[in-house]
């Protein structure tokens, strides 16, 4: 419980923190929807906007344009015409909404600060800063600049505890506020940003600091789906998810929320609700710390995965009787600076699953070092592997889940290259050839969901 933030000054109201993504604030029509959503519930007190995103296919994100301007400036090339394009985007929103914002002045300041030589982060952050000014004016809420309340160190690492106190102290005085996402500043006032999509993190930090009842993350999808709709077009929406399941699914490619956004809220026990700005009546996906074991609709919660992995297999007779064998393999992996994904082992074989991206620059070096350190009978690399994670808290209670999963895949004539079940029983990972990826995902979905 945050002692600084007196969350219920007049009684038993709730506090909701709402983050709106770039497509939710891409033009005046979207701003109108956001206003309707915020004003529909007086508990929606703190609002965190992204920069304007794409208005459709072929459109540009303001943040991409800002990075382009920063790159041009760095190379000594003209950049003012890019700022002009950005200004036009904001001006259109301002005119269409009929609000009054001194955009001319703001852009003159951005241009002159860029001339004097500033960081790429400063330039990128202006998208959220300006959108924050617009949204605050449109909603009639005070604007709290993130550079005052989101604290980074000089190296650009977030100081989460200091940020928590600063936000709590500042918002304790304000019943409502708009706080732009994506950036903050160090003690000297230099701007730093999170990685792309980082407004989700700002929203989570604000939610933690005010001890929100719910962190609402408004985007352009109606929550998480049980499988990638490009593979299973009618994949169902997931109504309830735990933070651990989310972590497993998003690590394997289900991307709706920034990976790091769950940490501040999970720590504080605050649920995150993914909602759709274009379909505000839909309850979306609710992500909680724990979910009642009875509430899982299906045995599995979701399927995620992606291509681009390799399996490195080391064989040596009597490997199991050789102490330190595994340590030496991992030493070779570590010496090459490689991050590995999984480590399924047999009696005389050990496999290391590595993404192609990690393996490619060190392939020969790694094999050579493993040979030196372990004198194996053979080392082979099997490329073009796709990993598929089948995730679900309901799997613990149900026996035969693994059998159903493997039967589903093998009945399609697909051979499973590796199997790895996390000790939590929350996740079964299989590796298949990349060409079999889509069919394997569909087979799992059909078996567990279309029943």
Which residue number, 23 or 390, has a Cβ lying nearer to ligand ASP?
23
Q: Rounded CA gap, 212 and 206, in Å? A: 8
How far is 256 from 277, CA to CA, in rounded Å?
Answer: 14
Please give the residue ranges that form the binding site for ligand ASP (CB under 6 A). Answer: 22, 50-51, 61, 63, 127, 181-182, 196-200
Residue found by looking up tokens 């955009």 in the block = 103
How many angstroms separate the CA atoms of 223 and 220, rounded? Answer: 9
Decide whether 145 or 356 has the Cβ nearer to ligand ASP.
145
- Cβ atoms of 60 and 54 within 8 Å: the answer is yes
Could you tell me the smallest distance in angstroms from the CB atom of residue 99 to ligand ASP?
A: 21
Pick between residue 199 and residue 313 the one whose CB is nearest to ligand ASP. 199
Given the complex with ligand ASP, which of 124 and 444 has the nearer CB atom?
124
* Least Cβ distance, residue 158 to ligand ASP (angstroms): 14
Minimum separation from the CB atom of position 241 to ligand ASP (A): 21
Helix H or strand E encompassing 219 = strand 214-219
Minimum distance of ligand ASP from residue 65's CB (angstroms):
10
Shortest Cβ distance from residue 222 to ligand ASP (Å)? 19
Q: What is the nearest approach in angstroms of ligand ASP to the Cβ of residue 59?
A: 13
Q: Which H or E run includes 305? A: strand 302-315
Contact partners, residue 238, CB within 8 Å, separation at least 6: 223, 224, 225, 226, 285, 301, 302
Q: How far are the Cα atoms of 19, 52, 122, 357 from residue 158, in angstroms, in the given order?
A: 19, 24, 16, 27
Contact 215, 246 (CB under 8 A): no
For 232-260, give the DSSP string: STTPPBPSEEEHHHHHHHHHTT--SS-GG
Shortest-Cβ-distance residue relative to ligand ASP: 199
Select 130 or 336, whichever has its Cβ closest to ligand ASP: 130
Element holding 214 (H helix, E strand): strand 214-219
In the complex with ligand ASP, the residue whose CB is nearer, 50 or 273, is: 50
- Rounded Cα–Cα distance for residues 445 and 451 (Å): 10
**Nearest CB to ligand ASP, comparing residues 195 and 410:** 195
User: Minimum CB separation from ligand ASP for residue 200, in Å?
Assistant: 6
* Shortest Å distance, C-beta 199 to ligand ASP: 3
CA distance 168 to 164: 6
Residue 198 or 376: which CB sits closer to ligand ASP?
Answer: 198
């Amino acid at each position: 419980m945050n002692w600084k933030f007196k969350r219920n000054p007049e009684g038993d109201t709730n506090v909701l923190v709402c983050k709106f993504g770039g497509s939710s604030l891409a033009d005046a029509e979207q701003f109108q929807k956001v206003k309707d959503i915020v004003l529909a519930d007086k508990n929606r007190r703190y609002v965190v906007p992204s920069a304007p995103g794409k208005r459709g296919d072929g459109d540009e994100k303001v943040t991409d344009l800002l990075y382009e301007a920063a790159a041009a400036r760095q190379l000594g090339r003209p950049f003012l015409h890019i700022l002009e394009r950005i200004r036009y985007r904001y001006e259109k929103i301002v005119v269409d909404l009929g609000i009054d914002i001194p955009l001319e002045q703001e852009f003159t300041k951005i241009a002159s600060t860029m001339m004097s030589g500033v960081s790429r982060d400063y330039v990128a952050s202006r998208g959220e800063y300006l959108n924050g000014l617009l949204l605050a004016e449109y909603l009639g809420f005070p604007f709290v600049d993130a550079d005052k309340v989101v604290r980074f160190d000089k190296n650009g690492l977030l100081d989460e505890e200091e940020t928590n106190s600063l936000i709590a102290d500042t918002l304790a005085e304000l019943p409502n506020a708009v706080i732009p996402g994506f950036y903050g500043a160090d003690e000297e006032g230099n701007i730093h940003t999170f990685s792309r999509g980082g407004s989700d993190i700002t929203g989570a930090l604000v939610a933690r600091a005010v001890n929100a009842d719910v962190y609402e993350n408004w985007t352009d999808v109606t929550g998480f789906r049980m499988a990638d709709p490009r593979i299973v077009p009618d994949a169902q929406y997931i109504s309830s998810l735990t933070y651990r399941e989310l972590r497993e699914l998003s690590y394997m490619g289900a991307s709706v929320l920034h990976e790091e956004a769950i940490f501040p809220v999970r720590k504080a026990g605050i649920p995150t609700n993914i909602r759709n700005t274009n379909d505000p009546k839909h309850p979306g996906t609710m992500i909680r710390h724990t979910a009642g074991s009875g509430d899982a609709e299906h045995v599995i919660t979701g399927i995620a995965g992606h291509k681009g992995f390799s399996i490195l297999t080391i064989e040596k007779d009597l490997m199991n009787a050789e102490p330190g064998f595994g340590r030496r393999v991992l030493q070779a992996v570590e010496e090459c600076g490689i991050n590995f994904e999984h480590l399924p082992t047999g009696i005389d074989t050990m496999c290391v699953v590595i993404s192609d991206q990690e393996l490619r620059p060190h392939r020969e070096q790694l094999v050579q070092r493993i040979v030196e350190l372990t004198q194996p009978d053979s080392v082979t690399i099997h490329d073009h592997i796709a990993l598929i994670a089948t995730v679900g808290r309901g799997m613990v209670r149900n026996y035969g889940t693994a059998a159903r999963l493997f039967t589903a895949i093998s009945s399609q004539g697909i051979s499973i290259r590796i199997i790895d079940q996390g000790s939590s029983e929350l996740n079964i990972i299989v590796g298949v050839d990349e060409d079999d990826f889509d069919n394997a995902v569909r087979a799992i979905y059909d078996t567990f969901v279309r029943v």
